[in-house]
Amino acid sequence: MTDITVEELKQKIDNKADFLLIDVREDWEYQDFNINGKLIPLGTLQGAVDDLDDWMEKEVVVHCKSGARSAAAKDFMIKQGFKNVRNLLGGVIEWQAKFS
């Protein structure tokens, strides 16, 4: 599955599309600014994927500050069997540049 731009993600959110948004940043980053994703810091993702079984076949969007940690999260989740994981290109930095 291809990655996703901030414009595409905003459209999905505005349209209330059925997908899971995961923020893989740290708690303090999430407190500072977030776009209402489910907070699962990258370091805890391995222990959290078992709780996400319902999303194995559905669309999951992962994001972080710039796209690097979420790219690692995407790779990990695909290796765990998730079929439709997309990384937010540019991360929160790009989101804030476009929409703040």
CA distance 43 to 4: 23
Question: Does the annotation count 63 as an active-site position?
Answer: no
Catalytic-labelled residue, pool 40, 45, 64, 89: 64
| CB distance 89 to 67 below 8 Å | yes
Q: At what angle do helices 6-14 and 91-99 cross, to 10 degrees?
A: 70
Angle at 93 between CA 91 and CA 99, to 5 degrees: 100
Could you list the active site residues?
64
